[in-house]
Homo-oligomer: A and B are copies of this chain.
Amino acid sequence: MQRKLPHSNLYLREEELRRGIELLYFAYRDFTRDPDAILAETGFGRAHHRVLYFVGRNPGTTVSGLLSLLRITKQSLSRVLGQLVEEGYVKQESGVEDRRQRLLYLTDKGETFEKELFATQRQRVAEAYKKAGPEAVSGFWEVLLNIVNEEERDTVLSQIEK
């Protein structure tokens, strides 16, 4: 019986870490399911959702702004963004100070669609917040923020606090 404590502690520690990993996996899996289903109807995918989301959050952002936020390559973005522009969800305007830049905005159509996609995740997250309570929500934010790469926490927060 004397050996019980140290063993239990190590065991718990490993279990606690695996619990976080697994919850993160399953939550992310289900969290992307609802919008994916809507997107599939329109012929878009998750990549289109991300662009719609972040352009909606950062009206007037540039192509390179999106590239560094999403950490994908120009070619990956360009295909997705091109489709969104062509089908009238996103509009581009030349920068006023630097006319090389393409400032990106959602059109009305884009905003409506983004709201529809957001609504599914909003519902899920709001429900989870409500069930867990405000203190749990703070903990949720804090742990997640610390999981993000240290160098990028500012970017994440500047997304959020705008």
Give min CB distance, A38 to chain B, whole Å.
Answer: 15
Docked CA distance A141–B50 (Å)? 25
Residue A147 lies at the interface, judged by CB distance under 8 Å to chain B? yes
For A22, the chain B residues whose CB sits under 8 A away are: 57, 156, 159-160
Establish whether residues A146 and B159, one from each chain, have CB atoms under 8 Å apart when the complex forms: no
What is the total number of copies of this protein in its complex? 2
Q: Are B131 and A137 in contact (CB under 8 A)?
A: no
Tell me the count of chain A residues lying within 8 A, CB to CB, of chain B. Answer: 54
Tell me whether A147 and B27 are in contact (CB under 8 A): yes
A37 on the interface (CB 8 Å rule)? no
Contact between chains at A15 and B144 (CB < 8 Å): no
Interchain Cβ contacts under 8 Å between A and B, 7 examples? A19-B160, A21-B118, A26-B152, A30-B147, A136-B143, A137-B139, A139-B143
